[in-house]
């Protein structure tokens, strides 16, 4: 049998290759729509321009003065820039504070979100919890900071910082600042967990109950593992807020440049002690504070920006992983 | 062991550590200091030297936070010593003892493009109370236009001292911008050709701003030491009641020891000069 | 002894145990509001409940006098008229949120609809980057770049002279504050609106296109309308952030508790102000003076109340949308 060569059947071009339909070409739009189109483009380009300007400015200033030695030397108070040391303690302070804040915020937020979505009785209490967390989300960080100052100077909370020889409670320590930072990160984790739990369809829960599992067992074995990615996203968002916060640190961390542990117990001592973070260091060393180490302030700001960017990529990655599942 | 038993054992161990550690702590006493950022570098240097001279006896914990915080912390017993950069006021809590340790000086600053050579008392008063508003009316100024007054917030110790020592007790005008930190005052003066501000003498030495002489006396460390320049403020160590124990030893060392005097002389003005 | 511990929780036990933790969180928040209210009480009492919100005299001088009064101030020492600070806060917040909302909406439409794939790949990380920059850095850029530019190039000497006996214009002021604040809050709004626009089922916009709408019309009349709850949520969030921004604004807003006068014309945008949160951060050093303490807590109470009003306002704004069947 003679093989017939058939011309390949004509294939319609893919959507993005087809010429734009006549109605979609700009020339056929009303002038107001054309104006809107141009505004959108202008806003988009302005956005890129502003970001570029900020990144270039901070990048140029930061990289200029950033050298590896700075990252590993401890800071000291000094009048001249070359006597003020490096930024090792602020970096460690940022890390410690973030860990404390998230360690307190995540269990509380996840528990509250689980209770709200899965139980939520009595209903007025549930609405109150929801509104309360919304209020915290909208509270300025300076208000949270002065609240922390007020309660941590009470004698009952003295073990969380230290009591000086004069009998007054110092009230400023990593634990104090960390507890207030957890309030700041709480709404993010709460919101993300709640979104995740609400997006799990009811039939998953019903199937589990039909098999005889109690509600709490369902939560623990089925629902929580599924919202892990949401919790991680919320935690990363919360960490971003903690890392970038200045007011709570300036008020509640004790304003010592180096990490000063309180007492001799290895970890507890540091938690009860004082220190500084990158944000308070930038605030103090830049023209916002004493201004006597502006170059180091830019270097520290650059490191801060890198840390926040890394956290953002982590959020992205976790979010994308969730989508592909 | 079951998981909960392991957890309880771990917590118990941590608790024992926490309780036992203070009992086994060294006999060193800790001096906690908080307060003015201006005198913090000086006190840090003094503390470092003191620890080297008397190893193992004393530990220091140096916090900053501002002069008011230092005084209030000392009064409430939250710290052993507070760093203050202003003289005691009638409104301070009762029972505080102010020990002077050093002096610092402060200048009027202008933009480098406006190197005002001198301000007399009358001229300074006229400018800072808002009577004279244009640089053209100030002899010696090369700037033109409105004078921008850059002051400090009331929480700082400088404004009352400037008013008392350099303005003959006249009040700074409401027109002045009240910047919350020394760095911002320096930045504002360094970026605005029409600005005049006041700041610690350290900033004048940085060449970002021009220090203005007062009544013919240049504002520099030498003239401040010799007493010719009137714009001088005292640094104090503040304690609740008379200083005792390690704190007392430290403060007396600062005031009497020649080693301490040398350290003070390197970045500030010793008391007895 | 621990064998009983390992029995699974019953639902009732779980409900009240988890509820106890949630109530703990709520309790902390209520405690915070309570603390702030109690500590603000002396100022409210000495000034009358609402007259401290009015104007009268220089608020800077009033705060300064409070610092000098020491530990046992007479009632007269609590005198406060905080209107210039409140006015500054409302001005910067309202204008930044409005400008930012418009800008975010158009940028979000650009990202979702009009941007070519390559441009989108640049803009989306750019938005995330902007949202991630800490506020100290915005403040730094404001005073190092924006304020000198405005002071040296946009404010003419004639303009400065014209108001020289009332206020000084040195570059920091309303304009720089609004610009910095807008740049700070826009990325959050863009992120939320983009997420909402992307969540609209494509069938809806395709339906609009099938009926003859062009791309702009389809997105504006269908997607943006459907995304209104998210736009409201974004506006509320941005408003809250703008109200609470203290550090960056204390650097760039002019450092003077002054009420800019709209009658001044263009000069209005160059006049200095100081928002509430910035005033709090600047005076927190002196918080141990009782008069200053209660004033600061009074400002905090005001900010807390406004964030409460904001969340109620957001809820109320979303109510009609809920009735239209949108998932709020």
- Domains of chain C and CATH, by start: 85-323 (1.10.3720.10)
Q: Confirm or reject contact between B2 and chain C (CB < 8 A).
A: yes
pLDDT in tens, C244-270: 899 899 889 988 888 888 888 888 899
DSSP code, position B209: S
Closest chain A C-alpha to B92 CA, distance in angstroms: 17
Q: Give the model's pLDDT for residue A164.
A: 65
- Over residues C178-186, the mean pLDDT reads 94
Q: Closest Cα to residue B177, out of A5, C233, C255, C46?
A: C255
Superfamily of domain B29-104+233-267: Periplasmic binding protein-like II (3.40.190.10)
Residue A151 vs residue A1, higher pLDDT: A151
Q: Cα–Cα distance between A178 and A170 in angstroms, integer? A: 16
Q: Give the model's pLDDT for residue C254.
A: 86
- Over residues A49-66, the mean pLDDT reads 85
Pairing of strands B148-152, B177-179: parallel
Q: Which CATH class is domain B105-231?
A: alpha beta
**What is the band of C174 on the pLDDT scale with cuts at 50, 70, 90?**
very high
Q: Confirm or reject contact between C126 and chain A (CB < 8 A).
A: yes
Give the domain ranges of chain A: 61-324
Angle between helices C276-283 and C228-244 (to 10 degrees): 30
Q: Which residues of A touch B44 (CB under 8 A)?
A: 76-78
Q: Give the model's pLDDT for residue C186.
A: 92
> Quick check: C304 and C245 in contact, CB under 8 A?
no
Taking the alpha carbons of A254, A260, A264, A270 in that order, is the dihedral positive or negative? positive
Q: What does the DSSP assignment read for C81-118?
A: --HHHHHHHHHHHHHHHHHHHHHHHHHHHIIIII--HH
Q: Give the model's pLDDT for residue B17.
A: 55
Share of chain A above pLDDT 70, in %: 87
Residue C44, pLDDT > 60, answer yes
> Quick check: C247 and A283 in contact, CB under 8 A?
yes
Q: Do A254 and B63 touch (CB under 8 A)?
A: yes
Give the domain ranges of chain B: 29-104+233-267, 105-231
- Asked, as a colleague might, if the bond just before A122 is cis with ω within 30 of 0, I would say yes
Q: Do B192 and C148 touch (CB under 8 A)?
A: yes
- Over residues C51-72, the mean pLDDT reads 84
> Quick check: A180 and A145 in contact, CB under 8 A?
yes
Q: Do B184 and C143 touch (CB under 8 A)?
A: yes
- Over residues A143-166, the mean pLDDT reads 80
- Least confident interval from A153-157, B77-81, C298-302: A153-157
Residue C307, pLDDT > 70, answer yes
How many of the other CB atoms lie within 10 Å of CB of B6?
10
Q: Do A77 and B267 touch (CB under 8 A)?
A: no
Pairing of strands B210-214, B29-35: unpaired
Which strand (E) or helix (H) includes residue B198? Answer: strand B195-200
Residue of A nearest to C26 (CA): A129
| Contact pairs from chain B to chain C, CB under 8 Å | 117
The CA angle C78-C84-C86, to the nearest 5 degrees, is 90
Residue of A nearest to C301 (CA): A143
Which strand (E) or helix (H) includes residue C68? Answer: helix C59-68
**Is residue A9 classed exposed, middle or buried when 0-12, 13-18 and 19+ CB atoms within 10 A define those classes?**
exposed
Average pLDDT along chain C: 87
pLDDT in tens, A219-247: 888 888 888 888 888 888 888 889 888 88
Q: Do B41 and A77 touch (CB under 8 A)?
A: yes
Residue of B127, B174, B195 to mutate for C, most C C-beta atoms under 10 A? B174
- Over residues B152-160, the mean pLDDT reads 85
Q: Do A47 and C36 touch (CB under 8 A)?
A: no
Pairing of strands B96-110, B81-84: unpaired
> Quick check: A224 and A232 in contact, CB under 8 A?
no
Q: Which of A23, A47, A150 sits opposite C127 (nearest CB)?
A: A47
**What is the band of C57 on the pLDDT scale with cuts at 50, 70, 90?**
confident
Residue B140, pLDDT > 80, answer yes
Q: Cα–Cα distance between A274 and A173 in angstroms, integer? A: 5
- Cα of C157 vs its chain's centroid, Å: 33
Q: Cα–Cα distance between B184 and C247 in angstroms, integer? A: 12
Q: Cα–Cα distance between A306 and C134 in angstroms, integer? A: 11
Phi, psi of C272 (to 5 degrees): -80, 155
**Is residue B272 classed exposed, middle or buried when 0-12, 13-18 and 19+ CB atoms within 10 A define those classes?**
exposed
Q: Which residues of A touch B22 (CB under 8 A)?
A: 263-264
Q: Confirm or reject contact between B179 and chain C (CB < 8 A).
A: yes
**H helix runs in chain B, sequence order:** 3-23, 40-53, 67-76, 121-128, 158-165, 182-191, 201-204, 221-226, 245-256, 258-267
pTM of this prediction? 0.87
Q: Which residues of C touch A156 (CB under 8 A)?
A: none
Q: Give the model's pLDDT for residue B85.
A: 87
Q: Closest Cα to residue C184, out of C243, C140, C146, C131?
A: C131
Both structure tokens of C4: 């009983």
Q: Do B61 and A260 touch (CB under 8 A)?
A: yes
Q: Give the model's pLDDT for residue B110.
A: 92
Q: Which of C130, C300, C311 sits opposite A134 (nearest CB)?
A: C311
Same fold, B29-104+233-267 and B105-231: yes
Q: Do A54 and C216 touch (CB under 8 A)?
A: no
> Quick check: B33 and B79 in contact, CB under 8 A?
yes
Q: Which residues of A touch C119 (CB under 8 A)?
A: 44
Share of chain C above pLDDT 90, in %: 32
Residue of B nearest to A264 (CA): B21
CATH topology of domain A61-324: MetI-like fold (1.10.3720)
Both structure tokens of B230: 């009137």
Q: Give the model's pLDDT for residue C3.
A: 52
Q: Give the model's pLDDT for residue B98.
A: 92
Residue C91, pLDDT > 90, answer yes
Q: Cα–Cα distance between B112 and C45 in angstroms, integer? A: 49
Closest chain C C-alpha to A7 CA, distance in angstroms: 33
Residue A24, pLDDT > 70, answer no
Q: Give the model's pLDDT for residue A104.
A: 93
Binding-face residues of A in 144-163 toward B, CB within 8 A: 153
Closest chain B C-alpha to A74 CA, distance in angstroms: 14
C-alpha pair distances (Å), A262 with each of A159, A170, A256 = 10, 11, 12
Q: Cα–Cα distance between A54 and A46 in angstroms, integer? A: 12
**What is the band of A324 on the pLDDT scale with cuts at 50, 70, 90?**
low
> Quick check: C61 and B151 in contact, CB under 8 A?
no
Q: Give the model's pLDDT for residue B25.
A: 45
C-alpha pair distances (Å), A160 with each of A148, B134, C121, C124 = 12, 55, 47, 42
- Over residues A166-191, the mean pLDDT reads 87
Residues 6+ apart with CB under 8 A from C240: A137, A138, A139, C307, C310
Residue B231 vs residue A8, higher pLDDT: B231
> Quick check: C237 and C192 in contact, CB under 8 A?
yes
Average pLDDT along chain A: 83
Both structure tokens of A147: 């609240």
- What are B65's strand-pairing partners? B35
Pairing of strands B148-152, B195-200: parallel
Q: Cα–Cα distance between A285 and B153 in angstroms, integer? A: 19
């Amino acid at each position: 049998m003679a093989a017939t060569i058939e011309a390949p059947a004509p294939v319609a071009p893919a959507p993005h290759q087809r010429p734009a339909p006549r109605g979609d070409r700009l020339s056929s739009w009303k002038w107001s729509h054309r104006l809107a189109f141009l505004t959108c483009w202008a806003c988009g380009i302005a956005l890129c321009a502003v970001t570029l300007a900020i990144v270039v400015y901070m990048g140029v200033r930061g990289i200029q003065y950033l050298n590896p030695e700075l990252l590993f030397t401890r800071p000291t108070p000094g009048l001249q820039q070359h006597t003020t040391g490096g930024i090792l303690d602020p970096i460690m302070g940022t890390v410690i504070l973030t860990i404390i804040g998230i360690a307190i915020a995540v269990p509380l937020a996840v528990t509250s979100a689980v209770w709200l979505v899965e139980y939520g009785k009595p209903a007025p209490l549930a609405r109150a919890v929801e509104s309360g967390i919304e209020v915290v989300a909208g509270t300025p960080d300076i208000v949270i900071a002065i609240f922390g100052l007020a309660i941590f100077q009470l004698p009952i909370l003295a073990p969380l910082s230290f009591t000086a020889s004069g009998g007054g409670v110092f009230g400023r320590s990593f634990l104090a600042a960390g507890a207030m930072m957890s309030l700041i990160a709480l709404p993010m984790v709460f919101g993300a967990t709640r979104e995740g739990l609400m997006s799990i369809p009811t039939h998953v829960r019903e199937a589990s109950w039909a098999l005889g599992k109690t509600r709490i067992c369902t939560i623990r074995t089925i629902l929580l593992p599924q919202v892990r990615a949401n919790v991680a996203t919320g935690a990363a968002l919360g960490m971003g807020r903690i890392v970038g916060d200045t007011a709570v640190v300036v008020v509640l961390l004790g304003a010592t440049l180096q990490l000063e542990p309180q007492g001799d117990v290895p970890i507890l001592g540091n938690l009860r002690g004082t220190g500084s973070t990158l944000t308070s260091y930038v605030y103090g060393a830049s023209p916002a504070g004493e201004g006597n180490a502006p170059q180091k302030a830019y270097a520290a700001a650059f490191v801060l920006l890198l840390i926040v960017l890394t956290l953002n990529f982590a959020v992205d990655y976790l979010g994308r992983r969730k989508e592909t599942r | 062991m079951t998981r909960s038993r392991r957890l309880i054992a771990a917590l118990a161990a941590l608790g024992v550590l926490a309780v036992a550690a203070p009992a086994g702590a060294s006999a060193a006493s800790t001096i906690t200091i908080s307060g003015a950022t201006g005198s913090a570098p000086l006190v840090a240097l003094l503390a470092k030297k003191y620890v080297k001279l008397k190893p193992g006896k004393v530990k220091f914990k140096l916090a900053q936070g501002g002069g008011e915080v230092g005084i209030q912390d000392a009064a409430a017993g939250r710290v052993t010593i507070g760093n203050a950069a202003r003289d005691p006021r009638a409104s301070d809590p009762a029972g505080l003892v102010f020990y002077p340790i050093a002096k610092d000086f402060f200048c009027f600053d202008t933009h480098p493009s406006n190197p005002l050579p001198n301000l007399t008392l009358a001229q300074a008063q006229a400018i800072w109370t808002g009577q004279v508003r244009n640089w053209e009316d100030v002899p010696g100024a090369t700037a033109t236009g409105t004078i921008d007054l850059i002051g400090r917030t009331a929480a700082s110790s400088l404004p009352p001292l400037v008013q008392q020592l350099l303005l003959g007790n006249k009040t700074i005008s409401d027109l002045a911008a009240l910047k919350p930190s020394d760095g911002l005052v320096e930045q504002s003066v360094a970026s605005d050709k029409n600005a005049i501000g006041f700041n610690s003498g350290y900033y004048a030495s940085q060449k970002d701003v021009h220090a203005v002489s007062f009544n013919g006396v240049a504002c520099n460390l030498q003239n401040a030491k010799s007493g010719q320049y009137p714009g001088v403020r005292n640094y104090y160590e503040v304690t609740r009641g008379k200083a005792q124990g390690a704190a007392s030893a430290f403060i007396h060392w600062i005031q009497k020891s020649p080693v301490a005097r040398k350290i003070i002389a390197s970045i500030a003005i010793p008391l007895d000069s | 002894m621990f064998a009983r511990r390992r029995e699974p929780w019953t639902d009732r036990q779980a409900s009240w145990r988890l509820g106890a933790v949630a109530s703990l969180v709520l309790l902390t928040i209520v405690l915070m509001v309570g603390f702030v209210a109690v500590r603000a009480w002396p100022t409210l009492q000495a000034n009358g409940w609402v007259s401290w919100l009015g104007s009268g005299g220089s608020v800077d001088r009033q705060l300064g006098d409070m610092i000098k009064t020491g530990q046992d101030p007479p009632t007269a020492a609590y005198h406060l008229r905080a209107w210039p600070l409140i006015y500054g806060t409302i001005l910067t917040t309202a204008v930044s949120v409005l400008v930012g909302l418009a800008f975010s909406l158009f940028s979000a439409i650009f990202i979702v609809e009009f941007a070519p794939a390559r441009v989108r790949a640049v803009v989306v990380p750019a938005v995330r980057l902007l949202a991630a920059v800490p506020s100290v850095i915005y403040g730094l850029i404001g005073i190092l770049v924006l304020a000198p530019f405005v002071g040296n190039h946009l404010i003419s000497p004639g303009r400065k002279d014209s108001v020289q006996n009332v206020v000084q214009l040195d570059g920091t002021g309303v304009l720089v504050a609004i610009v910095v604040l807008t740049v700070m809050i826009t990325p959050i709004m863009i992120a939320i609106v983009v997420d909402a626009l992307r969540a609209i089922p494509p069938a809806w916009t395709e339906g609009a296109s099938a009926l003859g709408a062009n791309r702009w019309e389809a997105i504006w009349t269908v997607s943006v309308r459907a995304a209104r709850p998210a736009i409201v949520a974004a506006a509320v969030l941005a408003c809250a952030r703008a109200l609470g921004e203290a550090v960056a604004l204390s650097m760039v807003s002019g450092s003077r508790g002054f009420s800019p006068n709209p009658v001044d014309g263009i000069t209005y945008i160059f006049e200095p102000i100081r928002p509430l949160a910035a005033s709090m951060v600047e005076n927190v050093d002196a918080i141990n003076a009782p008069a200053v303490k209660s004033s600061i807590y009074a400002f905090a109470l005001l900010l807390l109340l406004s964030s409460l009003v904001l969340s109620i306002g957001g809820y109320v704004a979303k109510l009609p949308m809920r009735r239209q069947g949108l998932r709020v």
